[in-house]
A = this chain, B = another copy of it.
């Protein structure tokens, strides 16, 4: 019988799983080095995990001058997670494997302002989960635009959804009977980047999203900054133009009011580039066709964003800035204004900071939310709290059952 895992070992065991999930197969020696643990302990842990059927031995690698390493890999059927992106008018749902790869995706209508929205949401998730599969469902990650007090309890404040003090986490947990982790959507993306993306190679970076709103997540020393009340990264409301246009937050000249999708569309209509019924797609098409008024609108937005991000780079000194979001579809036009403004606004010693713009799919948001679940082992009893422990328990228990 496997050793009864306590809270501490459980975390370390999960770290092994997370590492294998995030970085692919690795040898015991590699794992020990990367997780800053002694080889001796790794022998112990992997013995347990092999016994529990959570990992398996793969082929040996060719020797690099010494004994060849026996690689270890995740047993893919060990677990899966569901990620949900909540928007004002729809939900995006994905199911991911333990390695973060999407196995199923769906988009359904949703009315965030409905009186029954909480039960609607639960029903949509329940429908998506469907019948029990052989692979156990570890939990549900939910990404929302707004502040979340703590991942565990999941109380949400969101101007965009019109939610105040909504106990999203508790309700879903009760309705679904599964661990539920709620987080700000950009923060979730940052966790996903840290786990599966560019962020793997960096301890300090910024994730910036452009689209309807503008958001950021800050990663310092490998973990995401949440702030006092989970509200860090709200760069959409940075004041950038004194006396500028009014923002939906009530203030004037916010970054979002300058470079958000609505602002660009409004400017496009104002200047006659697109018609009154057209949206951001038409504006982008116009720019793609080479319409100079359209490219100017994106260029101006790039300029404003560039100056604002330069400020963030000064404030936080990141290794890299990652730009994501729906707005990146038109990045070629943004960059025209962004690059010169961004570089010129930086102190000479920071001009070299790379900006990575990643391709974007609609389900990326939901994939980020799913990463909340997959990543819980990382934060040792940290933000995810009780729900994180529960996710770990589910992962370990399903295996333990097949073994006793």
Measured CB to CB, the residues of A under 8 A from B are 147, 157, 159, 203-204, 216, 218, 220, 225-239, 242, 249-251, 307, 310-312, 314-319, 344-350
Contact = CB atoms under 8 A, between A and B. Distances in A.
A349 B231 contact: yes
A251 B346 CA distance: 8
B204 A317 contact: no
A317 B228 contact: yes
Contacts of A317: 226-234
Nearest to A320: B228
A237 B314 contact: yes
Contact of A315 (B233, B251, B307, B318): B233
Given A204-B228, A231-B350, A349-B147, A239 B315 contact: no
A251 B306 CA distance: 14
Nearest to A147: B349
B348 A249 contact: yes
A314 B234 contact: yes
Nearest to A229: B317
Residue among A157, A203, A345 with the most chain B CB within 10 A?
A: A345
Given A348-B249, A348-B250, A349-B147, A311 B227 contact: no
A185 B232 CA distance: 25
Contacts of A220: 220, 225, 227
9 contacts: A204-B228, A220-B227, A225-B316, A227-B316, A234-B315, A250-B348, A251-B346, A311-B311, A315-B315
A159 B347 CA distance: 10
Top 5 A-B pairs, shortest CB-CB distance: A227-B317, A231-B317, A238-B311, A228-B319, A232-B317
B315 A232 contact: yes
Contacts of A218: 315-316
Nearest to A146: B349
A347 B249 contact: yes
B319 A235 contact: no
Contacts of A250: 347-348
A246 to B, nearest CB: 12
B231 A204 contact: no
A348 B248 CA distance: 11
Given A204-B228, A307-B242, A347 B237 contact: yes
Contacts of A350: 231
Contacts of A348: 249-250
Query: Which one of A203, A307, A311 has the greatest number of beta carbons of chain B within 10 Å?
Result: A311
A340 to B, nearest CB: 12
Nearest to A349: B157
A344 B251 contact: yes
A227 to B, nearest CB: 3
A143 B319 CA distance: 24
Contact of A310 (B203, B239, B310, B344): B239
Contacts of A312: 315
Nearest to A205: B228
A237 B345 CA distance: 8
A27 to B, nearest CB: 26
Nearest to A206: B315
A84 to B, nearest CB: 24
B238 A315 contact: yes
